[in-house]
């Protein structure tokens, strides 16, 4: 056993770590990862440029609906992430062909938010 003194935010902890011989350790078989079900999009994507979530968070508001015409840089929705409100802006001008989220939705990074053609 080897003893170490670790300082975490000003609090000192004494820990003991056991050294083992790497040759004496038998490699355990890797556990099988559970099969993950594919995530289904709430609505099918329309044709055009896909607008995706830059980070995980919650949709606070959706300012557009299917069929709306938008200008480049126009606010599409507000995404709350890490207690901050982030505007999701239109990357191009066009017509919104699908909106895949609603107010209150939880999204992951890369999730489809809407499509603009």
**CATH code where residue 108 lies:** 2.40.50.100
**Is residue 80 in a domain?**
yes
- pLDDT tens profile 23-81: 665 665 666 655 554 444 445 555 689 999 999 999 999 999 999 999 999 999 999 98
pTM value is 0.60
More confident residue, 101 or 39: 101
What sign has the CA pseudo-torsion 79, 80, 82, 84? Answer: positive
Domain housing 105: 49-116
* Collapsed DSSP state (helix, strand, coil) of residue 92: coil
Q: Within a 10 A sphere around the Cβ of 51, how many other Cβ atoms?
A: 23
**Is residue 89 in a domain?**
yes
Q: How many domains does the chain have?
A: 1
**Is residue 102 in a domain?**
yes
């Amino acid at each position: 056993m080897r003893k170490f003194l670790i300082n975490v935010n000003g609090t000192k902890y004494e820990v003991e770590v056991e050294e083992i011989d790497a040759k004496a350790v038998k490699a355990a078989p890797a556990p099988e990862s559970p099969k993950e079900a594919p995530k289904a999009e709430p609505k099918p994507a329309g044709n055009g440029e896909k607008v995706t979530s830059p980070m995980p968070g919650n949709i606070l508001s959706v300012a557009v609906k299917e069929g709306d015409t938008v200008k480049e840089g126009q606010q599409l929705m507000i995404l709350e992430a890490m207690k901050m409100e982030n505007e999701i802006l239109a990357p191009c001008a066009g017509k919104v062909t699908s909106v895949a989220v609603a107010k209150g939705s939880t999204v992951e990074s890369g999730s489809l938010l809407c499509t603009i053609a």
